[in-house]
């Protein structure tokens, strides 16, 4: 809203509106009764004979006046708006204008039309041009003959797949997905330790193909990644396979349409794919974590494009976020330093003891069958496998305790050189019973399609723990 407005009456109209055409003959009568300013959104011809008519070509006046409908009639006194009405309501126009016989031959009322300022694409451009928000990101000019997607490739902003060009309007729309200020610094993004603002998150979310409503989940995942406990810098720089895996719990997963069912770890779901991809693009474009530079992965894994899914929460099993301290009914993300997906095929076990032994045998191979207390792991239990445990009354915790018992192994079998294999743990552990995972290092989630006796292991980075990376859970806030 301008600091000062012209005293008298203001009418905002557009020639394309039938109601505005209906009241056009009345404007001369209003002008005769006192000062009148007319702003016309779409034509220089509407009410052109009146000296106070201005063609609002840029729509700046309409934007600053906060016009939502036309025609709008406003009364201004001492430079400030004191009253307004919109559409044509004869009694309202008479009362506001002070012209007692105004519109005697017109219908009692007629609805107006939507303001041109609210048309798709225009509202954002007006906010960028005349609003308080000023994007801080540097704009790159792309020539008319230059393909915007190719320009993103050439400037190194892509992960190898096409990205959505982050125009100012698209970035503004993305920022509408969060109440957080665009210039808020989330933290220093490794490996280059560059300040990462909400605006920079929005830029990369646009490129990844996110919807604005994904922003709170992405911001929670980013905050988790920047904690000392997660150790993102080391995960980016390692020669091993790992990259951030995002597991989402709570009402937000359903609200934004995330997949926790069929093909949950695969392609095809926009929210799953783009939230995970956006975090990877932030690592690349803000933090400088590019393959072949600071990212020295020997092989990497496809999850470095995107690795994100929701946990199914339609059973008696306690969701992961609640296991990790988040209140029931709240949404959260858990960030895990994940490697690839290792399948568990057991189509014959029908009792929990047998299936737990199958799981334990497969989990023993994480990193290497002779390595222990190194990497963490996520066990993704499919609904058909979970049913075996649930129908037998086993909770997640009961399964975890059984797996921890089954995964104890004699140190003599694991030490370097045992079995003719040079790999292994130090000889000092020979006479001990060694757990496969450190305390809290095995996470269990339920996800996947309702058909198929298949579960999966997502191994963690072998530098997990105090000197490396631990899973981190953060609540999703708007």
pLDDT of residue 140: 87
Q: Looking at residues 160-169, what average pLDDT do you find?
A: 95
Asked if residue 358 is part of any domain, the answer here is: yes
User: Distance (Å, rounded) from C-alpha 358 to C-alpha 444?
Assistant: 15
Statement to judge: residues 231 and 97 lie in one domain: no
| Cα four-point dihedral sign 348, 349, 355, 358 | negative
Cβ neighbors of 99 (< 8 A, separation 6 or more) are 29, 30, 33, 93
Judgement on whether residues 124 and 161 belong to the same structural domain of the protein: no
pLDDT at residue number 467: 52
Residues 389, 255 within the same domain: yes
The tally of domains found in the chain comes to 2
- Same domain, yes or no, for 354 and 420? yes
Does a structural domain hold residue 353?
Answer: yes
**Cα–Cα dist 346/134, whole Å:** 57
137 within domain boundaries: no
According to DSSP, the residues that pair with 460 across neighbouring strands are 338
H or E element: which one contains 103? none
183 and 84 in one domain?
Answer: no
Judge whether residue 346 has pLDDT over 90.
yes
- Exposed e or buried b for every residue in 35-49, given b needs 16+ CB within 10 A? ebbbbbbbbeebbee
DSSP 401-443: HHHHHHT-EEHHHHBTTGGG-S--B-GGGTTSEE-SS-TT-EE
pLDDT tens per residue, range 324-345: 999 999 999 999 999 989 999 9
Average pLDDT, the chain: 94
Task: Return d(Cα 47, Cα 422) in angstroms, integer.
Answer: 91
Residue 1's pLDDT band (cuts 50, 70, 90): very low
Domain end residue (candidates: 71, 98, 130): 130
Q: What is the CATH number of the domain that holds 72?
A: 3.40.30.10
Structural domain boundaries enclosing 31: 8-130
Question: pLDDT tens-digit profile of 235-249?
Answer: 999 899 999 999 999
Stretch 214-221: mean pLDDT: 98
Global pTM reads 0.89
Same domain, residue pair 294 and 246: yes
d(CA 423, CA 414): 9
Task: Please give the pLDDT value at position 121.
Answer: 84
| Residue 298 and residue 244 share a domain | yes
Are residue 96 and residue 214 in the same domain, yes or no?
A: no
Residue 283: pLDDT over 80: yes
Position 281 pLDDT exceeds 60 = yes
Local confidence band at 141 (pLDDT 50, 70, 90 cut-offs): confident
* Segment 455-476 mean pLDDT: 83
In a domain, 142, yes or no: no
Q: How far apart are CA 5 and CA 268, in angstroms?
A: 53
- Please indicate, yes or no, whether residues 389 and 425 belong to a single structural domain of this protein: yes
474 touches 332 (CB < 8 A): yes
| Rounded Cα gap, residues 389 and 396, in angstroms | 9
């Amino acid at each position: 809203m301008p600091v000062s407005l012209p005293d008298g009456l203001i009418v905002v109209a557009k020639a394309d509106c039938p109601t505005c055409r209906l009241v056009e003959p009345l404007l001369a009568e209003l002008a005769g009764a006192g000062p009148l300013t007319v702003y016309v959104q779409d034509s220089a011809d509407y009410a052109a004979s009146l000296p106070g008519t201005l063609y609002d070509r840029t729509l700046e006046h309409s934007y600053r006046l906060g016009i939502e409908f036309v025609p709008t009639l406003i009364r201004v006194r001492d430079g400030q708006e004191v009253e307004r009405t919109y559409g044509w309501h004869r009694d309202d126009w008479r009362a506001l204008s002070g012209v007692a016989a105004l519109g005697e031959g017109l219908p009692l009322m007629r609805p107006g039309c939507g303001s041109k300022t609210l048309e798709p694409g225009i509202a954002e451009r007006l906010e960028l041009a005349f609003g308080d928000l000023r994007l801080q990101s540097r704009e790159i000019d792309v020539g008319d003959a230059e393909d915007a997607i190719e320009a993103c490739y050439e400037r190194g902003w892509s992960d190898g797949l096409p990205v959505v060009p982050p125009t100012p309007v698209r970035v503004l729309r993305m920022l509408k997905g969060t109440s957080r200020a665009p210039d808020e610094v989330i933290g220093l993004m490794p490996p280059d330790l560059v300040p990462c603002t909400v605006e920079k998150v929005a830029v990369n979310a646009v490129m990844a193909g996110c919807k604005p409503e994904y922003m709170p989940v992405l911001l929670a995942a980013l905050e988790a990644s920047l904690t000392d406990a997660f150790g993102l810098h080391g995960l980016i720089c390692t020669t091993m396979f790992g990259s951030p895996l995002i597991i989402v719990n709570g009402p937000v997963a359903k609200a934004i349409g995330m997949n926790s069912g069929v093909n949950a770890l695969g392609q095809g779901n926009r929210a799953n794919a783009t939230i995970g991809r956006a975090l990877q693009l932030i690592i690349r474009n803000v933090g400088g974590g590019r393959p072949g530079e600071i990212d020295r992965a020997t092989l990497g894994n496809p999850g470095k494009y995107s690795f994100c899914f929701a946990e199914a929460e339609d059973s008696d099993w306690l969701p992961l976020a609640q296991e990790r301290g988040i209140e029931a009914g709240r949404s959260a993300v858990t960030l895990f330093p994940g490697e690839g997906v290792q399948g568990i095929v057991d189509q014959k076990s029908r009792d929990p003891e047998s299936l737990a032994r199958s799981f334990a045998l497969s989990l023993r191979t994480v990193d290497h069958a002779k390595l222990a207390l190194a990497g963490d792991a996520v066990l993704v239990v499919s609904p058909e496998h979970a049913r075996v445990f649930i129908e037998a009354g086993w909770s997640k915790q009961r399964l975890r305790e059984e797996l921890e018992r089954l995964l104890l192994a004699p140190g003599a079998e694991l030490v370097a050189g045992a079995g003719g294999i040079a790999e292994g743990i130090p000889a000092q552990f020979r006479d001990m019973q060694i757990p496969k995972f450190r305390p809290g290092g095995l996470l269990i989630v339920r996800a996947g399609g309702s058909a198929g006796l298949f579960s999966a292991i997502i191994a963690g980075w072998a530098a997990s723990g105090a000197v490396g990376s631990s899973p981190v859970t953060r609540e999703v806030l708007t």
